[in-house]
Amino acid sequence: MRVTVLGSGTSSGVPVIGCPCPTCLSDDPRDQRLRPSILLEAEDTALVFDTSTDFRQQMLRADVKHLDAVIFTHHHCDHVAGFDDIRAFNFISGRALPIYTLPETLAALQRMFSYVFTPPEQIGGGIPQIIPTEIDSASFAVNGLEITPIPMKHGIMRVNGYRIGDFAYCTDTNYIPPESFELLDGVKVLVLDALRYRRHPTHFTVDEAIEAACRIGAERTYFTHIAHQIKHADLSSQLPDGIELAWDGLVIEL
């Protein structure tokens, strides 16, 4: 299995428009963060988790020419607003693309992209062709690859993390329920939300993420959804063994 971090930034991306802070002015490429998403490849199967606001740029940068499905964590704009660019993969394959979502995420997509679900009289450049499947907490499979949802909270909002074999992706959370910690038992590689140093109502702080990572006990943990308050080089040297900051373009081999 191979995981590519397509975006490791928060909802505004980094650098933030008009911001003169040290991170936003940094020439370290690890401080250039697109909105959060990953690509997971296992044998002939390729999955993207979330169509971020930067989805098109991420697909071009990672040279992705084939997708088997998109799996959504939740429906905040930074995770779904690249949804229209799914149609590029329809053009390539000639087929509709399966998507897997929580029911509330599908309802939000239907509101935000109503033209996909109720096509207008004139389509113009085309619309995404999708095959939606609603999921909740039960495991499901894509091309025989088993995917286990990890129910979490993002403030008061239900979101999903996901476990695939020894790997788990848990972005956009500030609370992992006890039963979800059990679902993460034995995971070897973890990608986990860690927004900033100061407390936030819907995201783990760095200290909270360290505490959660130590409880999960993965061999390697990578923090993602990183805001511009964190400069990569400054925090990297302070993290415990086995915990690192993710960066755009990071490739994780399992």
Distance (Å, whole) CA 49 – CA 162: 9
Distance CA 191, CA 186 (A): 14
Tell me the pLDDT band of 149, cut-offs 50, 70 and 90: very high
pLDDT one-digit tens code per residue, 239-254:
999 999 999 999 999 9
User: One-letter amino acid identity for 173?
Assistant: T
CATH fold label, 2-253? Metallo-beta-lactamase; Chain A (3.60.15)
Q: How confident is the model at residue 121 (pLDDT cuts 50, 70, 90)?
A: confident
Measured between alpha carbons, how far is residue 144 from residues 49, 139, 152, 163, 198 in Å? 17, 12, 25, 14, 41
The count of other CB atoms within 10 Å of the CB of residue 158 is: 15
CA 219/CA 38 separation, integer angstroms: 19
Say whether 218 sits in a helix, a strand or coil: coil
* Mean pLDDT across 3-16: 98
- How confident is the prediction for the chain on average, in pLDDT? 97
The DSSP bridge partners found for residue 149 are 162
User: How many Cα atoms sit within 13 Å of 25 on the Cβ side?
Assistant: 5
Q: Residue 189 pairs with which residues in a beta bridge? A: 167, 220
Sheet holding 145-154, edge to edge: 140-142, 145-154, 157-164, 167-170, 189-193, 220-224, 243-245
Percent of the chain with pLDDT over 90: 96
